Amino acid sequence: MVWLLAISVIGLIFGILLLWNGWLLRLIEQLDKPVMVLDEKALQYRIICGLVLLIVSIVLLAEAVVYPDLIFFYVPGVFLVIVCFLLLFLPGTLARLCELLDTVVMPVDGLVLGMRKLIGALLIIAAGYIFYLVYASGAK
């Protein structure tokens, strides 16, 4: 459960930053230089990435089964199983899907800047909910 607390602390920090520091988003927007392209590295090491994603998805799904309060772990667990299957068995389909998703449909920066207070508030609420789940399940 310590990792859940760490995730909620990270979500709380980013929620507070989004809620009160719009200048930080503008600063990050100016740093628009990618360090490396992840798609090429993931496809180069697709078997290792696929196996790691399979292990992570099994852990998420097992946690969701063992702790019924963590029902929201089913969605990322199933998503990771699908991505793992694509990486291991259909890498060409995954590459075409990445190319399709890389096309810019709408600028995300303006959307995030416009909705930063709502996103920040949702992150703070989600972090509070995770704190509550961790302490409620620890009190049993």
Which pTM does this prediction carry?
A: 0.51
3-state secondary structure of 77: helix
pLDDT in tens, the chain (140 residues): 677 788 888 888 888 887 777 676 667 666 655 555 556 666 678 888 888 889 999 998 998 898 888 788 888 999 999 988 888 888 788 778 777 766 655 555 666 667 778 888 888 898 888 888 888 777 55
| Angle between helical axes of 46-66 and 74-89 (0-180°, round to 10) | 160
Report the C-alpha gap between 87 and 59 in whole angstroms.
18
Burial label for 53, CB within 10 Å (0-12, 13-18, 19+), is buried
Per the CB < 8 A criterion, the answer to whether 87 and 53 are in contact is yes
Question: What domain range is 46 assigned to?
Answer: 2-138
What is the number of domains present in the chain? 1
| Angle between helical axes of 2-20 and 116-138 (0-180°, round to 10) | 160
